[in-house]
Amino acid sequence: MSTEIATSACAKCSHHNESQAKFCGGCGQPLWEPCGKCETTVRIGTKFCGGCGEDLQQRFQQRLQQAEDTLQQARKLAEGFEYDDALTVAKRHRKPADYRFQAVADQCVQLAQQIERARDAWQAKAAKVLEAARRAAAAENHAKTAALVTKIPEPLRCEELKNLLTKSRSADSQYSQLLDMLRDALQQKQYVTAANAVEGLLQIKPNEAKFAQAAKKIGDALQASAIRRFDRGDYHGTLQRLEALPQLVRNPQTAAMLRRAGNVAWLFDQFERQPWTTENLLQFSQRLTQTVPQDPRGKQLLEQVQASLKQPLGDPRSLYRVWSGKAKSWMGGPVRLLAFPQSLELPQQTLFKKHPGEFCIAIGLALQGLGKGTFTEALYRAETKGLKKLFRRKGPQECVGVDAGSSAIRAVRMRLSEDGAIELLDVWRRQFAQPLCRSGLEMQQTVLQEDDLLALKEWLGEGEAEIWINQPSRDVLGKFVEMPPVGDKQLQPLIEKEIQQRFPLAADELNLAVWCEAEREDQSRQVVLVAAKKTLVTQRIAKFQEFGIQPTAVQCEQAALVNFAVLEFADQLQTEGDDPADDAPPAVALVDAGASGTTLLIITANAFLFRSVDGGGEALTGQLARNAKLTAEQAEKWKHHPATATDPASCFPALTERMQGSVQRLRRAFDEAQQQLGVGAVSSVWCVGGGSRMHGWPVPWLDRSDAANEETMVDRDDDFEIG
C-alpha cells in the first residue's frame, strides 16, 4: 500500500514543503502567521481565516499601507532636517520577517543611506559656520554672526550656535534701543539717562571711538552738574549724577566725591526716618555742621535736636522724646522705647536708663514666682518636700527673677508685702565679655561662663528667696489654640489631644506650660501651649546648680514678657463696661529685641499671642563687621553710634534691609492676632531688649504708607549743554 505525502508550495519561491513545515525549505521564509483577529495560525497567502472568517488579504493590505506611511514619515522628517528622527523611523522596516514587505524595506534602506549622507554633509558645513561665527562674535559683528548662524537649519544647530544667534540678536536689538535712548536723552537734556545708555553701548562695542568720546563728554558734564548740585544742597541729585558716571571717566577723585555726597545724604535722611530724638541725631547734626558748614540746614537741625532733648517726655515710660511726630507704627499706635516701668517703684533709675527695657523678662519671672503672673504653670518647678515645706516662712515673700540672655545676665529681687503690694527691691546686671551667640566662638564659650554665674551667686547671697530662671525663646515652641466654650473639666482632654497633635515630640519628652483664658459664657476660649525639650531644660538647670545656684522654677522668656506686660499695661488694656464680642479689644504690642532673636507679643485684657524669630542684634553686628571689614567689637560700636563710622552710607542700608526682613516675618503674628484675638489696631508699641537701642532698629516698625507720596528726583539738567 503506497503512502502519499501532502505538500504545499512556498508563495515566495514555489518550493514544495511538507504540510506541517513551519519554514520553507527553499528560502527559509515563514510559512505561517497568526490571524490578526483570533490568533489562529494560518498559512501565509490564505485569503480568509478558517477560525473566524477574517479577511486576511484586506488586513495584509492595511499593514502594507502602514509600512508605506512610515516610509513617507521618514521622508518628511528628513525634509525638515530632523535627520536623527528620520533615521530612527526609516530603520523600522529594513529587515522584514515577511517577504511581502521586502519592497518597502528596500526603499527604507535606500532612504536611510540618503539621510546619512545629507546629515554628514550638513555637519561638516555647520562646523565651518561655527568657526566663522565665533570670529564674527569676537569682532562684535553681531549682524554677520546672525547671518552665518542662520545658514544652518535650526534643527542642525548645536547649543553653541544657538547661543551665538541669541546673543547676537539680543545685542543687535539692545544696541538699537540704547542708540535711540541716547539720542532721546541728549535731546531732552536727561544726561543721567544718556550716561546709562552710553555705558550700555560701550559694553556692546567697547572699541567704538565715538561712544568713548560721548562717554567722556557726558561724564565731564555730569561731574560739573554734581558739583553745582552739592553746593546747592541737593545731595541726592549729586548722588544720582555721580552714580551714573560711565566707568570710562571714573577715578579716585570721583569716588571720593561719591562717598562724601553719599554720607551727607544719608545723614540728612536719618532725620526723616528716625522716630526718636536720640544722642545719635545730635551727633549726626554736629557732623553735618562740620562736613557741610555752608548748608544752614545742619545748624538748624542741631538746634532742633537740642531743643527737643530739653522737652518733657511724652510718656513717663519712654526713654526718648518723639522726633518730628513720626513715630506711628503700621500696627496702629506710636512706637516707643520702654525704659521706666510705671507699675513698680524703681530702686535704681540710673541702671534702668542706661539699660532700658532689659529687665522686663527678669521682672516677669519674679512676678510669677510671687504668684502675680498671668501664667500659673511653668516649664519646670522644683518640688518642696519635708520640713522645708512644713515650715515655709509666712508673711512677706521674696523672689528673684534671673534672665540669663545671650549678652548679659539681668536679675531682679522682688517682694510681696503683707498687704499684697509688689515691691522691686534690687536689680543687678552683668555684661558678658562677648555675646554667647557670636559667630566663630568655640563650643565651650557659647554657654554661660563660670565667672558670670559666680558673680550672680555672690549677688544672690544666702537668702531663702525663690529663684526663677529663663528658658531662651529659641528653645521654645508656642501653639495658640481656640477652644470651644466648655468648662475646665471638659477642656483638659481637649488640651491633651492638642499637645499630642501639635508638637513633634511625645509629651513625656517635653516640659510644658499651659495658659487658658478664663471661662466666659458662650465664648470660645483661647489656650496657649508652650513647650521645650526636657533635655534642654535639664541642661540649663544643671548649669546653674553646678555653681551652687538652685533654681526654683524655669519659665520661657515669652511667658515672662506676658507676665510683665499684663501688669505694666493694665491701664491701657481696660475696657469700659461690657465688651461686645464684635468690638476689637484694646491691645498693646511689646517687641523684645535680643542679641540672638526678636519676639513680638500682642496682648489684650483676655488673651495674647507671640512669635519669635532668630537673627537678632548679633547677626547685625556680624553683617556690619563683614561689610565694613571691622572686628566684631568695632562693629558693635558703629552699630550703636553710627556717627563715628567713616562711611555709614555704604554699610548701614544693608542692615536696614535685613531688619525689614525680620519684621516682615513678625507681621504674621500681628495678622494672626487680628484673626484669632479680634485685635484691630494696638494703642502703643513698646520696644524692650538691648537690641532696640541700635540706630535704625525702630524704622521697619513705622508706618511708611505716605512714602509713595514723597517728591521724586527729576532726571533733567537745564544748567548745561553738551555737544
Which pLDDT score, from 0 to 100, does residue 154 have? 79
CA 429 to chain centre: 35
Q: How confident is the model at residue 3 (pLDDT cuts 50, 70, 90)?
A: very low
3-class secondary structure, 159 = helix
Residues contacting 95, CB < 8 A, separation 6+? 105
Q: Which of 565, 586, 619 is the last residue of a domain?
A: 565
Residues contacting 402, CB < 8 A, separation 6+? 362, 365, 409, 410, 411, 456, 467, 468, 469, 470, 551
Which pLDDT score, from 0 to 100, does residue 204 have? 78
Which pLDDT score, from 0 to 100, does residue 387 have? 47
> Within this chain, do residues 63 and 150 fall inside the same structural domain, yes or no?
yes
DSSP state letter for 689:
S
pTM of the model: 0.73
Asked whether residue 635 is domain-assigned, the answer is no
Asked whether residue 588 is domain-assigned, the answer is no
The alpha-helical segments, DSSP class H, found in 345-475 are 349-354, 360-369, 386-390, 450-460
> Within this chain, do residues 65 and 45 fall inside the same structural domain, yes or no?
no
> Residue 721 pLDDT more than 60?
no
Q: Which of 516, 545, 565 is the last residue of a domain?
A: 565
User: Cell numbers 485685635 label which residue?
Assistant: 679
**Which of 363, 368, 357 lies closest to 402, judged by CA?**
363
Q: Alpha-carbon distance 469 to 362, whole Å?
A: 8
> Within this chain, do residues 520 and 553 fall inside the same structural domain, yes or no?
yes
What is the domain count for the chain? Answer: 4
Q: How confident is the model at residue 408 (pLDDT cuts 50, 70, 90)?
A: very high
Please answer whether residues 453 and 544 qualify as being in contact, where contact means their C-beta atoms are separated by less than 8 angstroms.
yes
Q: What is the mean pLDDT of residues 714-722?
A: 51
Span of 5-14, 244-253, 654-663 with lowest mean pLDDT: 5-14
Range of the domain at 274: 178-291
404 vs 348, residue with greater confidence:
404
485 vs 577, residue with greater confidence:
485
Q: What is the mean pLDDT of residues 470-496?
A: 92
Q: How confident is the model at residue 94 (pLDDT cuts 50, 70, 90)?
A: low
Asked whether residue 625 is domain-assigned, the answer is no
Asked whether residue 504 is domain-assigned, the answer is yes
> Within this chain, do residues 524 and 560 fall inside the same structural domain, yes or no?
yes
Q: How confident is the model at residue 51 (pLDDT cuts 50, 70, 90)?
A: confident
**Which of 273, 285, 142 lies closest to 201, judged by CA?**
142
Span of 43-47, 241-245, 274-278, 683-687 with lowest mean pLDDT: 43-47
Q: What is the mean pLDDT of residues 20-44?
A: 75
Q: Alpha-carbon distance 386 to 688, whole Å?
A: 41
> Within this chain, do residues 503 and 359 fall inside the same structural domain, yes or no?
yes
Q: Which of 533, 565, 597 is the last residue of a domain?
A: 565
Q: What is the pLDDT of residues 159-193, one digit of tens each?
A: 888 888 778 766 767 778 788 888 988 888 888 99
Span of 349-353, 512-516, 592-596, 633-637 with lowest mean pLDDT: 349-353
422 vs 91, residue with greater confidence:
422
Cβ neighbour number for residue 466 with a 10 Å cutoff: 22
> Residue 216 pLDDT more than 60?
yes
Span of 131-135, 227-231, 619-623 with lowest mean pLDDT: 131-135
Asked whether residue 71 is domain-assigned, the answer is yes
> Residue 398 pLDDT more than 50?
yes
> Residue 77 pLDDT more than 60?
yes
Asked whether residue 709 is domain-assigned, the answer is no
> Within this chain, do residues 108 and 41 fall inside the same structural domain, yes or no?
no
Which pLDDT score, from 0 to 100, does residue 563 have? 97
> Within this chain, do residues 2 and 92 fall inside the same structural domain, yes or no?
no
576 phi/psi in degrees, rounded to 5: -90, 120
Q: Alpha-carbon distance 632 to 615, whole Å?
A: 16
Asked whether residue 707 is domain-assigned, the answer is no
Q: What is the DSSP string of 168-213?
A: HHHHHHHHHHHHHHHHHHHHTT-HHHHHHHHHHHHHH-TT-HHHHH
Q: What is the pLDDT of residues 521-543, one digit of tens each?
A: 888 899 999 999 999 999 999 99
Residues contacting 467, CB < 8 A, separation 6+? 399, 400, 402, 460, 549, 550, 551, 552
> Residue 378 pLDDT more than 70?
yes
Which residue(s) pair with 262 in the sheet? none
Q: What is the pLDDT of residues 695-710, one digit of tens each?
A: 999 999 998 776 544 4
What percent of the residues of the chain are helix, what percent strand, and what percent coil, each to the nearest 5?
A: 50, 15, 35
> Within this chain, do residues 283 and 354 fall inside the same structural domain, yes or no?
no
Q: What is the mean pLDDT of residues 270-282?
A: 94
What letter represents residue 315's amino acid?
D
> Residue 369 pLDDT more than 50?
yes
> Within this chain, do residues 106 and 244 fall inside the same structural domain, yes or no?
no
Q: What is the mean pLDDT of residues 340-358?
A: 89
User: Cell numbers 530603520 label which residue?
Assistant: 91
Which pLDDT score, from 0 to 100, does residue 20 have? 73
Mean pLDDT of the chain: 86
DSSP state letter for 519:
P
Span of 18-27, 296-305, 348-357 with lowest mean pLDDT: 18-27
> Within this chain, do residues 143 and 88 fall inside the same structural domain, yes or no?
yes
> Within this chain, do residues 225 and 371 fall inside the same structural domain, yes or no?
no
Residues contacting 344, CB < 8 A, separation 6+? 363, 422, 423, 424
> Residue 76 pLDDT more than 80?
yes
Asked whether residue 267 is domain-assigned, the answer is yes
Q: How confident is the model at residue 93 (pLDDT cuts 50, 70, 90)?
A: low
Q: What is the mean pLDDT of residues 257-276?
A: 95
Which pLDDT score, from 0 to 100, does residue 716 have? 56
The alpha-helical segments, DSSP class H, found in 480-604 are 488-502, 534-545, 557-568, 570-573
127 vs 430, residue with greater confidence:
430
Percentage of the chain beyond pLDDT 70 is 89
Which pLDDT score, from 0 to 100, does residue 470 have? 97
Span of 174-188, 544-558, 566-580 with lowest mean pLDDT: 566-580
Span of 5-14, 92-101, 375-384, 705-714 with lowest mean pLDDT: 705-714
Residues contacting 256, CB < 8 A, separation 6+? none
> Within this chain, do residues 151 and 12 fall inside the same structural domain, yes or no?
no
